[in-house]
Amino acid sequence: MAFKNTNLNYGVVSRTIHWLTAFIFLSSIGLGLFMVDLDDSDLKQDLYSLHKSLGVVILGLIFIRLLWLKISPNPEKLSTNKFEYRLSLVVKGILYFSLLGMPISGWILSNSAGYDVAFFGLFVLPSLVGESEMIDEVVRDIHEIFGFILIGVILLHIAGALKHHFVYKDGTLLRMLGQNKEPK
């Protein structure tokens, strides 16, 4: 099991970051959609705290992922279709941008509403902005838009992976699953 990526396969670090980010993001989105409609209660506050902490984890994972890409670049693309290759670059760019933008907008949203962002009760992140109703209204919409963008690009990402697996049968999905098979 390779630690770093090779020309053909993803290493354990890239795969771990990928799947951990996916799991935490999906959990955070589900939590966000659930908690927003709850009546004010201790449960709602606890869920908001968990949601914020998960956002901090996602933000950290994305920074680690971007740093790791400099240390261990992704394997070569298996697709020979130029349009699909370019589309995958656009989708990946939007994905990274949104995975950075969503937690940062959530952080600003919390601060503008007068709340701190604590990381699992261990420490509090510094405030990025002061309390402001105007900022709160704008950033609330931005945070929601990032959520919908992420859902859309993740669906495109999944569709692309499934197309590679079932139509092209080129091993792209298998590489991210750690099966490290040679392409057909």
CATH of range 12-176; options 1.20.950, 3.30.110, 1.10.3470, 1.20.58: 1.20.950
pTM: 0.91
Per-chain mean pLDDT for the chain: 93
Secondary element (H or E) of residue 173: helix 172-176
Minimal CA–CA distance to 98: which of 28, 165, 12?
A: 28
What is the per-residue pLDDT across 55-92, written as a single tens digit (0 to 9) for each? 999 999 999 999 999 999 999 887 778 998 898 899 99
Instruction: Provide the pLDDT confidence category of residue 102 given band limits of 50, 70 and 90.
Output: very high
| Bridge partner list, 118 | 124
Secondary structure, 3-state, 39-76: CCCHHHHHHHHHHHHHHHHHHHHHHHHHHHHHHCCCCC
Chain position carrying tokens 């951990």:
20
Q: List the chain domain ranges.
A: 12-176
Sequential DSSP letters for 86-118: HHHHHHHHHHHHHHHHHHHHHHHHHHHTT---E
